[in-house]
């Protein structure tokens, strides 16, 4: 009976993964066309939430075990729970909007907890990896479709490319080197074509650490292999720089890097300055408890979000929310270091995702966007597999 229960629970997890991939697929299109709040997309996302929330029903099976969670997962779960309170107290007049914000911000907690428990519970990693590939292919298909509609004509900066970057560490869990090289190559192409500077920066730095840590955890550091990998990255980068600097008269990625001083990171310095002024100008109550989901964009005269997770969390969810978020963030960082020290085979993709998470949190957004689910899924899943190996309790 226990075998049947575990098989049933794992099939449910695979279905939940597919639903999350489908919701991400829809969100990519929504964010590029400005229709994230469309009825159809919200129906898909609501269905995805219900599927992941339904994971609680697994506890009804006596043979299904709920494992103790490590500190980072506990703190993130507490943070997401706390964040619901300011959302409920927001000035948003539409009950449906408040309900959807609560639903959207609860989903990362369910993906984190469920992925962690499932990763420990099952040995069926092959099926998981197949689903990760399916999700990646879905996102590639959507990006190509969007690129043909938008970027091919006016060289728009496609933020949806980040979905491919954030999913990359999941594909790097798969052992065949061909799959790893292919996915890295695809993500490089996508990021250069999307003209997203922060994404290229995050990929370059995280890929360097991924290669270095991969050598370290195998305890077979080969200077030739390390230099060869870096050389391959440089060659690829050079090829794309040559394509990116063609004299077409259109904006290209090198122009965007050269213009950082002039555009101040697409106006981020101005946004950060105003967000800090908004935080300092609050009353004690809102400073402590926050103003609700995505409140910076709603209250700012610039009508832009903070473009920094820590500033956004402070204004949206208050000092309490910031302290919880910082505690979760820092303990997760220590957990990554612990995995590296213990030479876990899961350390390289985990470190890669954390570096991407750190960089994008500082100059863009992770936690309030729908793709936070990808991060929580990956963190939970990798930590679960790490603990299953018996390296850490």
> Average pLDDT of the chain?
83
Residue whose tokens read 């018996």: 390
For residues 128 and 322, give the distance between their C-alpha atoms in angstroms, rounded to a whole number. 33
Assign 155 to helix, strand or coil: coil
CA neighbor of 313 nearest in space, from 302, 303, 328, 301: 328
For residues 3 and 9, give the distance between their C-alpha atoms in angstroms, rounded to a whole number. 10
Query: pLDDT at position 155, please?
Result: 54
Do residues 332 and 300 lie in contact, with contact meaning Cβ atoms separated by under 8 Å?
no
Structure tokens at 200: 């290229």
Query: pLDDT at position 326, please?
Result: 96
pLDDT tens sequence across 219-259:
766 666 566 666 656 655 555 554 444 444 444 444 444 44
Phi, psi of 221, rounded to the nearest 5 degrees = -70, 120
Distances, alpha carbon 169 to alpha carbons 184, 203, 337, 383, in Å: 9, 11, 17, 13
Query: pLDDT at position 264, please?
Result: 44
Query: pLDDT at position 235, please?
Result: 58
Distances, alpha carbon 275 to alpha carbons 285, 363, 367, 369, in Å: 17, 13, 17, 18
pLDDT tens sequence across 258-276:
444 444 445 678 888 898 9
Q: Label residue 66 by pLDDT band (50, 70, 90).
A: confident
- By CB atoms closer than 10 A (0-12, 13-18, 19+), residue 216 is middle
Structure tokens at 140: 């590639």
DSSP run (H or E) holding 310: helix 309-341
pLDDT tens sequence across 312-358:
999 989 999 999 999 999 999 999 999 999 999 999 999 999 999 99
Do residues 238 and 204 lie in contact, with contact meaning Cβ atoms separated by under 8 Å?
no
CA neighbor of 3 nearest in space, from 121, 119, 120, 115: 121
Do residues 380 and 118 lie in contact, with contact meaning Cβ atoms separated by under 8 Å?
no
Query: pLDDT at position 220, please?
Result: 67
Q: What angle do CA 14, 352, 69 make, to 5 degrees?
A: 55
**pTM score of the predicted model:** 0.86
Query: pLDDT at position 265, please?
Result: 44
User: Of 50-64, 96-110, 129-143, 234-248, which range is least confident?
Assistant: 234-248
Q: Label residue 90 by pLDDT band (50, 70, 90).
A: low
For residues 198 and 202, give the distance between their C-alpha atoms in angstroms, rounded to a whole number. 6
Query: pLDDT at position 354, please?
Result: 96
Structure tokens at 391: 């390296």
Percent of the chain with pLDDT over 70: 82
Query: pLDDT at position 23, please?
Result: 94
Phi, psi of 149, rounded to the nearest 5 degrees = -80, -35
pLDDT tens sequence across 11-46:
999 999 999 999 999 998 888 776 666 778 888 999
Between residues 384 and 61, the one the model is more confident about = 384
Residue 363 scores a pLDDT above 80: yes
């Amino acid at each position: 009976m226990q075998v049947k229960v575990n098989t049933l629970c794992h099939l449910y997890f695979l279905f939940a993964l597919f639903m999350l991939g489908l919701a991400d697929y829809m969100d990519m299109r929504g964010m590029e066309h400005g229709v994230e709040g469309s009825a159809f997309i919200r129906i898909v996302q609501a269905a995805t939430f219900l599927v992941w929330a339904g994971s609680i029903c697994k506890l009804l099976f006596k043979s299904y075990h709920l494992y103790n969670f490590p500190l980072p997962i506990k703190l993130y779960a507490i943070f997401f729970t706390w964040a619901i309170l300011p959302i409920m107290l927001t000035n948003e007049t539409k009950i449906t909007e408040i309900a959807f914000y609560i639903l959207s911000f609860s989903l990362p907690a369910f993906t984190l907890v469920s992925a962690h428990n499932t990763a420990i519970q099952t040995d069926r990693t092959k099926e998981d990896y197949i689903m990760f590939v399916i999700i990646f292919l879905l996102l590639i298909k959507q990006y190509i479709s969007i690129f043909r509609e938008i970027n091919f004509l006016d060289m728009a900066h496609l933020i949806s490319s980040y979905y491919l970057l954030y999913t990359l560490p999941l594909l790097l869990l798969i052992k065949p080197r061909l799959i790893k090289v292919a996915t890295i190559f695809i993500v490089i192409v996508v990021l250069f074509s999307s003209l997203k500077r922060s994404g290229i920066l995050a990929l370059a730095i995280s890929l360097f650490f991924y290669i270095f840590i991969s050598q370290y955890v195998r305890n077979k550091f080969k200077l030739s292999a390390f230099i060869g990998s870096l050389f391959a990255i440089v060659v690829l980068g050079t090829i794309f720089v040559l394509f990116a600097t063609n004299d077409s008269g259109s904006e290209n990625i090198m122009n965007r890097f050269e213009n950082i001083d002039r555009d101040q990171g697409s106006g981020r310095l101005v946004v950060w300055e105003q967000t800090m002024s908004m935080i300092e100008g609050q009353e004690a109550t809102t400073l402590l408890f926050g103003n609700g989901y995505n409140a910076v964009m709603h209250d700012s005269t610039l009508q832009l979000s903070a473009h920094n997770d820590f500033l956004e969390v402070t204004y949206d969810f208050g000092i309490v929310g910031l302290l919880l978020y910082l505690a979760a963030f820092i303990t997760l960082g220590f957990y990554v270091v612990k995995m590296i020290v213990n030479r876990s085979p899961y350390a390289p993709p985990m470190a890669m995702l954390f570096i991407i998470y750190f960089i994008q949190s500082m100059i863009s957004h992770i936690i309030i966007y729908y793709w936070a689910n990808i991060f929580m899924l990956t963190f939970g899943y990798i930590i679960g597999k790490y603990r299953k190996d018996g390296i850490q309790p």
